[in-house]
Amino acid sequence: MFSGIKVRDYMSSPVTVIHSYDTLGYIKNLMLERRFHHFPVIGECEELLGIVSISDVLRAMSKGGTPWRWRSWESRLVDRVMTPNPITVGTDDLLIEAAAKMTTRRISSLPVVSDNRLVGILTKTDILRAVVDEIKGIVKVRNCMKRPVVLREGTPLKKAARLLYAGKEEVLLVRLPNSLGILSESNIIFFGLEASGKYEVLDARSGRISIDVKQGRVSELVHEVDVFLSPEMDISNAGRLLLEWNVPGLPVVENKKLVGVLTKRGVVRGVHLAGRRSS
């Protein structure tokens, strides 16, 4: 029974760590190389100091400022943007309890510790794998989906970035001429958007100058999809599609009408809900 599944059964281990003195430029390159979204931060004695997520990097990239005070976000140190003293779980904690922590605290990952040592990390994708394997016939998509935010394909990327790094939206849907697309934080950060206000600072003979930059459009990065979920679909089957398509969310359609979007965060809520129903 899934209620007996422990964190150790689905956590990711070993875990890639970073240090408080690393720069955001280094972290961005590490994310691009390994396609990871979360990195625990350790100190000189390998103690857990914090955690840095793709959202933290996106916020730093998108933070504005006057051009004469501009400084490349890539040179900032990790300890300036990390979340200190992160919430953790133990290897023997129940997976449904970990899902409850993610849901109530609105976080996407949990460092896993054992005997005060960092031994792994539990992410939404790890819980999604557990759902596909273990949770069947208990929760439907309807119970976990949320109302979608739908953008036009000509929407500026800067506006999309603001919606995403505000933390309320995990994915955005984009209405294309003949289909729908998915846009997430990963699309933007891996594209390398530098939305640091409306300026680009260049070196010139007379000193550093600023010029307006043309922002991209969401249509440049959108992930077009032609698979749709039904509100009555079992959460396990829906989770399998999320894994197969390697996307953070999929649209939900009923009677040819868009009624919602199911995200990985929604699946984690489904685990929380399933745990409450089984208790």
What's the rounded Cα separation, in Å, for the pair 279 and 274?
A: 9
Report the range of poorest mean pLDDT among 60-64, 78-82, 262-266: 60-64
Spatial CA neighbour of 80 closest among 118, 52, 110: 52
Cα separations in angstroms, 245 against 110, 145, 239? 24, 18, 10
Report the range of poorest mean pLDDT among 55-64, 166-175, 262-271: 55-64
Using pLDDT thresholds of 50, 70 and 90, give the confidence band for residue 33.
confident
Whether residue 249 contacts residue 170, with contact meaning beta carbons closer than 8 Å, is answered with yes
More confident residue, 103 or 215: 103
Computed over every residue of the chain, the mean pLDDT equals 84
The pairing of beta strand 150-152 with beta strand 171-175 = parallel
Domain segments of the chain as ranges? 2-278
More confident residue, 231 or 45: 231
User: Is pTM beyond 0.75 here?
Assistant: yes
Q: What's the order of all strands across the beta sheet hosting 18-19? A: 18-19, 38-42, 48-53, 83-84
Whether the per-residue pLDDT at 67 is higher than 70: the answer is no
Any idea which architecture 2-278 has in CATH? Answer: Roll (3.10)
What average pLDDT does range 148-163 have in this prediction? 89
What average pLDDT does range 114-140 have in this prediction? 92
What's the rounded Cα separation, in Å, for the pair 54 and 242?
A: 19
Cβ-based neighbour number of residue 227 at 10 Å = 11
